Amino acid sequence: MKLKVRGFEICKGYEDKDINLPVRKTKFSAGYDIECAEDTIVPCKSNTPTFIPTGIKAYMGEDEVLYLYNRSSNPKKKGLVLANSVGVIDKDYYGNPDNDGHIMFAFYNVKDEDITIKKGEAIGQGVFMKYLITDNDKASGNRMGGFGSTDKL
């Protein structure tokens, strides 16, 4: 059996929803294209971001992170910008008790009309990266929840 190092899986509740796991389209692509899990409307000029479900979660090594980036065409073609500029998926987000590590993209729509994102449409990309820690790092907390839970340890 091959040891799992990093990758994507379907989240709980999405097993029967015909979700495609992210893939790289070319051998020199850094990012894995991530699709929308269900038709979603992003309202125009809303003050709150719309969370786009993907139906996936990611596992990775202890010194790795998954960064979520917008598609380069989204701002111009659809008026969609990421609310947090870059999403950060930590290793301990995987399988958390609140949402099983479900990855979502938070979008604002800057256009004057609502935008519909269809199931299966590519909405962003994920890039796995190594990260470093400082000499005096003493982090020891354990994640107890899902989205936005690191401040509640």
Among the ranges given (111-120, 124-133, 144-153), the one the predictor scored with the smallest mean pLDDT: 144-153
Model pTM score: 0.90
Q: Which structural domain range is residue 36 located in?
A: 7-132
| CATH number for the domain that contains residue 60 | 2.70.40.10
Instruction: Tell whether 24 is covered by a domain.
Output: yes
Confidence of residue 147 (pLDDT cuts 50, 70, 90): low
| Cα 38 from Cα 33, distance rounded (Å) | 16
Output the pLDDT for position 143: 54
Q: Which two tokens stand for residue 52?
A: 């786009």
Instruction: Tell whether 1 is covered by a domain.
Output: no
- Domain total of the chain: 1
Residue 82 is which amino acid? L
Partners of residue 105 on adjacent β-strands: 52
Among the ranges given (78-87, 112-121, 135-144), the one the predictor scored with the smallest mean pLDDT: 135-144
Residue whose C-alpha is closest to residue 121's, from 59, 55, 67: 55
Output the pLDDT for position 82: 97
Output the pLDDT for position 56: 98
Confidence of residue 87 (pLDDT cuts 50, 70, 90): very high
Q: What is the mean pLDDT of residues 13-32?
A: 97
